[in-house]
Amino acid sequence: MAVALAVAALGMAACGATPQTTLEPTTEAARTARDLLMFVFWAMVITFVLVEGALLYVLIRFRRRSGDGIPPQTHGNTPLEIGWTIAPAILVVIIVVLTVPAIFSNARAASPDALQVRAIGHQWWFEFQYPDLGVVTANELHLPVNRDVEIQLESNDVLHSFWVPSLRGKLDMVPGRANRFTIRPEVTGTFPGQCAEFCGTAHALMKFHVVVETQADFDAWVQNELSDSLTPTSDLARSGQEALTLGGCVACHTIRGTDSAGVLGPDLTHMGSRQHIAAGILENTPENMRLWLSDPQGVKPGNTMVIPELTTDQLDALVAYLEGLK
């Protein structure tokens, strides 16, 4: 267990400045989870050392030596049996006493001025709506720092799970039901998250990021999100917009301010401003955008994006247009 945890922590620490790990909490809810985890972990370590130590001691101290006959045969030892029944029971009671208040604090109600967010799981991406602000976006959740946020979890198809370990433990996104939780981000930065409930072929590639920023930065982001998409300024980008309309992308994607008004896929109105594409798995660079558009099944096997084979010119144009949607 200790080795597995250490390896997992190392692996996650290698993933960037804000690793996807429960061990570096940045909210009250995440600290509560980390503290419980560490208590149970060390209780297990101590129990393991005591039990295995006693076992090794007995094996060596009382091993059979040459000349030994059959040892005295005994059955049962009442004090010992009572002891090893009561000791774990006490440990379990301590864990319960620590866990129950944590469950209630994790389920606390949001303050009346909390920011409301709807997070909707899709195979295999995350939709984020801000009902009070009129913002709809995908795969990158922006939150202001030091303000309560009430997140309502829903699913468009199958079970998913919303998990940003440095902000909070995971909670399922269940079709036909709304789960809610409240968090209060305390640290600005970009925090990686992912779906944590098996939901089909591309489950492991269903990632997203939470950008926690100052209120001023958040307000600026909201203003930009509310605006229509930028009109392409170059001929290349203009032909990209045309290719997108003729290629059928409009049937699934919305780009506000254009003819694209589909609602099956992520809203692309400001996708050029996002840090990642393809539901959090690729950094948003022109090279990656080209890779994604030329081979979506190679990048994310099983994804439902239907895209015709594109010529080099069409790829150039589409990349120019989409990257320009700041």
Summarize as ranges the residues that interact with ligand CUA (CB under 6 A).
121, 124, 160, 195, 197-199, 203, 206
Q: Which is nearer to ligand CUA, 53 or 175 (CB)?
A: 175
Q: Pick from 143, 139, 96: which is nearest to 117 by CA?
A: 143
For the bound state, the minimum distance from the C-beta of residue 279 to ligand CUA, rounded and expressed in Å, comes to 9
Q: Which is nearer to ligand CUA, 124 or 181 (CB)?
A: 124
Distance CA 33, CA 165 (A): 9
Q: Which is nearer to ligand CUA, 140 or 197 (CB)?
A: 197
For the bound state, the minimum distance from the C-beta of residue 140 to ligand CUA, rounded and expressed in Å, comes to 16
For the bound state, the minimum distance from the C-beta of residue 305 to ligand CUA, rounded and expressed in Å, comes to 16
Distance CA 157, CA 197 (A): 13
Q: At 322, which amino acid appears? A: L
The full DSSP string for 124-181 is TEEEEEETTTTEEEESEEEEETTS-EEEEEEESSS-EEEEETTTEEEEEE-BT--EEE
Structure tokens at 288: 């990656």
For the bound state, the minimum distance from the C-beta of residue 206 to ligand CUA, rounded and expressed in Å, comes to 4
For the bound state, the minimum distance from the C-beta of residue 159 to ligand CUA, rounded and expressed in Å, comes to 8
Distance CA 60, CA 74 (A): 20
Q: How far is CA 4 from CA 1, 11, 64, 77, 166, in A?
A: 5, 10, 35, 36, 19
Cα 91 from chain centroid (whole Å): 31
173 contacts 153 by C-beta, under 8 angstroms:
yes
For the bound state, the minimum distance from the C-beta of residue 281 to ligand CUA, rounded and expressed in Å, comes to 13
Distance CA 237, CA 232 (A): 5
Q: What are phi and psi of 250, to 5 degrees?
A: -60, -20
For the bound state, the minimum distance from the C-beta of residue 164 to ligand CUA, rounded and expressed in Å, comes to 14
Q: Which is nearer to ligand CUA, 191 or 208 (CB)?
A: 208
Structure tokens at 60: 């060596």
For the bound state, the minimum distance from the C-beta of residue 299 to ligand CUA, rounded and expressed in Å, comes to 17
Q: Which is nearer to ligand CUA, 110 or 202 (CB)?
A: 202
Q: How far is CA 303 from CA 158, 174, 295, in A?
A: 14, 20, 11
